[in-house]
Structure 1
Amino acid sequence: MKSNVKTIISLALIVTAALGSAAHAQNPKSTFTIVRSTQWGAENYNPFVPGDQHLLPTNSAIYESLFFVNSINGRVTPVLGTKYAWSKDNKTLTVTTRPNVKWTDGQAFSANDAAFSFNYLKANPALDTNGLWKGGLSAVKATNPSTLVFTFSAANTPMFQFIANTPIVPQHLWKDVKDPSTFANTKPVGTGPFVADSYSQQALRVLKNPNYWMPNQPYVDALVWVATSSNDAAQLKLLSGEADFGYVGISDPKAYAAKSKDASYWWPTNNINFLYFNTVKAPFNDVNFRKAVAAAIDTKEVAQKAYAGAVPAANPAAIFPGQQKQWLTAAAKPTFDVAAADKALTAAGYKKDSSGNRLGKDGKALPSFKILVGAGWTDFITMAQVIGNNLKKVGINTSIDQQAWGSYSGGLQTGSYDMGISWGWGNGSTPFYTFNAAFNPDFSAAVGKTAPSNLSRYTNPAITSALKTFRTTSDQATQQKAISTIVSTVMKDQPWVPLTDRVNFGLFNTSKFTGFPSAENPYNDSSPDDTNGARLLYLNVKPK
């Protein structure tokens, strides 16, 4: 017990030093500490730049969206929007905005700010990473201070989730920002429950917004983010009581919870972890090579070793359990078969040399392929180790390429990788969101350019057509048929390998606070600490 007290005191001193003189000017009575196993870069609170470029509190504590859509149950929580309705033809979405909300500089929020925010994305297409203005949206107008109208040229009801999550900024300040791609926004003005206070590369702090629109909330006076170098280091801070919450992908959450009476977790499934193939790079541009590699990977072993049985292997159709009953119309069986994979590689022109190593179609030795993972992410590192051992059995050599977040995400998005492990970069209440993010041509890009979410750079006309069918109808049978077309096409062309179900990795230390989300109280989906779903956590936790 004494060692824990020393550790907590030590961390407090480190955080105070890291936050600088501003920490001495404020004296919050309660501080909720978040640990993040990454490093962040320059001070930047611009909510429109990619997530690896702006700081963690930007979209979770400072800026707000119209609604929050819970990915595990589809529930919609009002935020700056209070209600919404689609027209009969699904081409008009009307949102009522919240009255009596003020920006942190004292000016009033209105529907005009929301309309400006969406039109700002239209004026700066590089910021429109969800493709709102490519998805049929044709106009956004505030018809009065509390009414916002979205007009679509073609019905696209799944777009609601992206509209709901878009951060809203103050028109009176952002109208003068001519180049948002370079705007660091170091003095952010938002409507959220906290305001920016202090920054360093070791710790970030935000303080309670005294004029927040929700009466008596938040219950805590400050949030502090502390950086660590790995998931293991983050777990130790949680166990010692140095941190209260962490979004940490450790291998065994049950073992974590068993180490302390104050340790708990909630890992609801809402996505899938994939091995992505870079399909524009040889030999991964060969469908036969990709299919053989997929057949050589034992996803059950991947799941068992990465998560100690706490998370199962993914369904090969890439539809996670909560959605299979409604959307998986035909059973999809794993293809794992080492002998078949070995024969398939040879039949596809990739013979072995005398040492059992694979050769390319040109007869030259294939290189050792890199598997890109996040630095210190123990679950992904373990997955890469298992995959490497599996592929070695069919003569393919690999190495693990650990990169910090910026290089990791940048490598996936610019197409500079061989294989990479990551989650589906789009998910929601139906499989449409996963497949649309992964295979919509609008979210791809030429090698060297940034692809918002089509990490494999794979597209197929049949999938593009099915995605269009899904979003332009509300008939469930038609939507099911579209999903079936996508599933069968993807499984035939194998641009990725679904490895394991992906959960939201909420780890908690409950020694100082109550009100964490759970299966019994799923007010969010155990959201990552830097997303708008985490805002609900920061609003609900209370000091004991």
Structure 2
Amino acid sequence: MNSTVKTILSLSLILTAALGSAAHAQNPKTVFTVVRDTQWGSENYNPFVPGDQHLLPTNSALYESLFFVNSINSKVTPVLGTKYTWSKDSKTLTVNTREGVKWHDGKAFSASDAAFSFNYLKSFPALDTSGIWKSGLSSVKATNPTTLVFTFTTPNTPIFQYIAATPMVPEHLWKDVKDPSTFTNTKPVGTGPFVADSYSQQALRVLKNPNYWMKGQPYVDALVWLATSTNDAAQLKLLSGEADYGYIGIPDPKAFAAKSPNTSYWWPTNNINFLYFNTAKAPFNDPAFRRAVARAINTKEVAQKAYAGAVPAASPAAIFPGQQKEWLSSKVAPQFDAAAADKALTAAGYKKDSSGNRLGKDGKALPSFKILVGAGWTDFITMAQVIGNDLKKVGIKTSIDQQAWGSYSGGLQTGSYDMGISWGWGNGSTPYYTFNAAFNPDFSAPVGKTAASNLSRYTNPAITKALKTFSGTSDESAQQKAIDTIVAAVMKDQPWVPLTDRVNFALFNTSKFTGFPSAENPYNDASPDDTAGARLMYLNVKPK
């Protein structure tokens, strides 16, 4: 028996066991398999709740948005919207919606459904995690079945990216959902290219939507997600051919690609990995302490050991390479200097005892600080190890705190951590998106409450003003000055340490399918599997 037959039989056995009788009831000919290094929770297809609460097909295969904005090249792909225009004063956004689209239950989609979806977020502010209704939006109305009008009290053109990505839901079903925060939506009705089929703790399956509005697509009959507990286990499924795609951060993608003629990767840079400081907790509430700690960390070594040279260290200005030519006014030198960091800590009042351990300003020994990372995330674990070794040299003790996704994201958002490694929880075609998500007061919250994206709980009036200036104008010189103000303030107060460029971690096994995104054909940005960008991959991959 050859290895290909063994692989097919192995996958068949996995799916039959995991999906139960449903695997016998349906027999799709072409199955595109995604491996996920996580364990998902209960059955939930609510597109408005955070990603750790709903299942992975939700916002990629079942529900659709108006547009997809590609973060690496700013290209806008029409989805349920076909065209958009801003008024001259940037206070009105008009979107034309697609005709001939049906919900999975056969009812027609219209601009009224889109207007309902946005107004639903207004009625339930906890669902508005992008802050659409906190950013000057005053009304959303359908003026006819194919025209949607957004009205703003103040100009806010960057909000388009978030409007574009908002999932659309059917008014005829969701108008009766009184508490969407607890609604699990186990019988999802979207407009997407697939319909929900089977669920278990080990595998999820969705089937091709026979009435999808894009004729002839998708090219596959089913999508399946397989669960693993670690990156390594997920990688093995890709290498064996049991999976076709995985969004997996591994130390050396070049080595992965070299293992087989059928293995490849595409890791385009579209974000940054940060070490976040919890500025609501001492001593991380002291900018002098944070600056000294940042200077003690060798980010080049962090990048080299975490990604074997495949991903570089980040700019201290927190602007990633594709945006530096346009938005970074002057070169920023690396900050690493362990000796200077040691002196700076002492000068700031954090002396050492006779054993070389760092003391607080009260003369008592500082505790060992935890560095929060996702459980089994080898790249972040490696980063934490390097950071821990660097901080040990200046008398600061650390330990690595590995947590499953729910506890990891929850710890960051509720402010229960000391230091934590994560990406920028907002990114886009300009640095504005990174800084707005990270430091806008609207996205922060008191400790114990959930912050949407201001994980450090750092705010600064100068930054808040600059963000408002940027969003309220289309004048590039004014926008540049706003970014300069933000960069200067952030580098001075150091609420985070930019560690490495952040890439999307797309790994492929190409033995059965073609049409994957690549640098030559970047129709998406190597998007994670539960996002609007991943939908484009599920539509484009074809059986060989």
TM-score of Structure 1 vs Structure 2, range by shorter chain? over 0.9
Corresponding residue for residue 249 of structure 1: 249
Secondary structure at 2:340 match in 1: helix
Secondary structure at 1:523 match in 2: coil
Corresponding residue for residue 229 of structure 2: 229
Task: Tell me the alpha carbon deviations over residues 357-400 of structure 1, each in whole angstroms, 9 at most, x when there is no partner.
Answer: 11111111111110000111110000000000000000111111
Q: Which amino acid aligns with 1:312?
A: P
2-side partners of 1:353 and 1:72: how far apart? 49
Secondary structure at 1:138 match in 2: strand
Task: Tell me the alpha carbon deviations over residues 8-27 of structure 1, each in whole angstroms, 9 at most, x when there is no partner.
Answer: 52342122211121111100
Secondary structure at 1:180 match in 2: coil
Task: Tell me the alpha carbon deviations over residues 234-284 of structure 1, each in whole angstroms, 9 at most, x when there is no partner.
Answer: 111111101000011101111000000000111100000000000000110
Q: Which amino acid aligns with 1:194?
A: F
**CA displacement at 1:353 relative to structure 2:** 1.4
Structure 2 residue 504 is the aligned partner of structure 1 residue 509: no
What does 1:309-324 correspond to in 2, within 5 Å? 309-324=309-324
**CA displacement at 1:331 relative to structure 2:** 1.4
2-side partners of 1:38 and 1:428: how far apart? 26
Corresponding residue for residue 279 of structure 2: 279
User: Does the 8 Å CA contact 1:305/1:383 hold for their aligned counterparts?
Assistant: yes
What does 1:83-122 correspond to in 2, within 5 Å? 83-122=83-122
What does 1:329-340 correspond to in 2, within 5 Å? 329-340=329-340
2-side partners of 1:397 and 1:304: how far apart? 23
Secondary structure at 1:502 match in 2: strand
What does 1:68-217 correspond to in 2, within 5 Å? 68-217=68-217
Q: Which amino acid aligns with 2:165?
A: N
Corresponding residue for residue 259 of structure 1: 259
2-side partners of 1:422 and 1:7: how far apart? 35
Secondary structure at 1:220 match in 2: coil
Corresponding residue for residue 58 of structure 1: 58
2-side partners of 1:266 and 1:367: how far apart? 41
User: Does the 8 Å CA contact 1:8/1:240 hold for their aligned counterparts?
Assistant: no
Corresponding residue for residue 362 of structure 1: 362
Corresponding residue for residue 298 of structure 1: 298
Q: Which amino acid aligns with 1:445?
A: A
Secondary structure at 2:304 match in 1: helix
Q: Which amino acid aligns with 2:158?
A: P
1-side partners of 2:274 and 2:15: how far apart? 36
Corresponding residue for residue 12 of structure 1: 12
Secondary structure at 1:484 match in 2: helix
**CA displacement at 1:3 relative to structure 2:** 5.9
2-side partners of 1:13 and 1:278: how far apart? 46
Task: Tell me the alpha carbon deviations over residues 111-151 of structure 1, each in whole angstroms, 9 at most, x when there is no partner.
Answer: 00000000000000000000000000000000000000000
Secondary structure at 1:34 match in 2: strand
**CA displacement at 1:293 relative to structure 2:** 0.4
Secondary structure at 1:481 match in 2: helix
Q: Which amino acid aligns with 1:49?
A: V
Q: Which amino acid aligns with 1:126?
A: A
2-side partners of 1:486 and 1:336: how far apart? 21
Corresponding residue for residue 543 of structure 1: 543
Task: Tell me the alpha carbon deviations over residues 152-182 of structure 1, each in whole angstroms, 9 at most, x when there is no partner.
Answer: 0000000000000000000000000000000
**CA displacement at 1:2 relative to structure 2:** 4.7
Q: Which amino acid aligns with 2:389?
A: N
In structure 2, the CA distance between the partners of 1:7 and 1:363, relative to structure 1 (3 Å rule), is farther
Residue ranges of structure 1 left out of the alignment (5+ in a row): none
1-side partners of 2:524 and 2:324: how far apart? 21
User: Does the 8 Å CA contact 2:32/2:244 hold for their aligned counterparts?
Assistant: yes
Corresponding residue for residue 464 of structure 2: 464
2-side partners of 1:365 and 1:30: how far apart? 61
Secondary structure at 2:421 match in 1: strand
Q: Which amino acid aligns with 1:517?
A: P
Q: Which amino acid aligns with 1:143?
A: T
Corresponding residue for residue 433 of structure 2: 433
User: Does the 8 Å CA contact 2:203/2:226 hold for their aligned counterparts?
Assistant: yes
Q: Which amino acid aligns with 1:470?
A: F
Corresponding residue for residue 371 of structure 1: 371
2-side partners of 1:7 and 1:34: how far apart? 15
Secondary structure at 2:229 match in 1: coil
2-side partners of 1:503 and 1:182: how far apart? 33
Corresponding residue for residue 345 of structure 1: 345
Corresponding residue for residue 21 of structure 1: 21
User: Does the 8 Å CA contact 2:10/2:242 hold for their aligned counterparts?
Assistant: no
Number of residue pairs aligned between Structure 1 and Structure 2? 544
Corresponding residue for residue 44 of structure 1: 44
**CA displacement at 1:7 relative to structure 2:** 5.1
2-side partners of 1:3 and 1:456: how far apart? 49
Task: Tell me the alpha carbon deviations over residues 450-489 of structure 1, each in whole angstroms, 9 at most, x when there is no partner.
Answer: 0000000000000000000000000000000000000000
In structure 2, the CA distance between the partners of 1:5 and 1:290, relative to structure 1 (3 Å rule), is farther
TM-score (norm 2): 0.99
Task: Tell me the alpha carbon deviations over residues 290-340 of structure 1, each in whole angstroms, 9 at most, x when there is no partner.
Answer: 001000000000000000000000000000000000000021112110001
2-side partners of 1:470 and 1:105: how far apart? 43
Task: Tell me the alpha carbon deviations over residues 80-129 of structure 1, each in whole angstroms, 9 at most, x when there is no partner.
Answer: 00000000000000000000000000000000000000000000000000
Q: Which amino acid aligns with 1:87?
A: S
2-side partners of 1:151 and 1:531: how far apart? 27
Corresponding residue for residue 445 of structure 2: 445
2-side partners of 1:438 and 1:8: how far apart? 45
Secondary structure at 1:225 match in 2: strand
What does 1:481-496 correspond to in 2, within 5 Å? 481-496=481-496
Q: Which amino acid aligns with 1:213?
A: W
Give the CA RMSD over aligned residues: 0.9
Secondary structure at 1:367 match in 2: coil
Task: Tell me the alpha carbon deviations over residues 426-457 of structure 1, each in whole angstroms, 9 at most, x when there is no partner.
Answer: 00000000000000000000001100000000
Residue ranges of structure 2 left out of the alignment (5+ in a row): none
Secondary structure at 2:181 match in 1: helix
Secondary structure at 1:382 match in 2: helix
| Paired-residue identity, % | 85
2-side partners of 1:363 and 1:205: how far apart? 58
Q: Which moved more, 1:16-25 or 1:91-100?
A: 16-25
Q: Which runs of 4+ in 1 moved over 2 A?
A: 1-12
1-side partners of 2:294 and 2:4: how far apart? 46
Q: Which amino acid aligns with 1:128?
A: D
In structure 2, the CA distance between the partners of 1:387 and 1:4, relative to structure 1 (3 Å rule), is farther
2-side partners of 1:183 and 1:52: how far apart? 14
Q: Which amino acid aligns with 1:284?
A: F
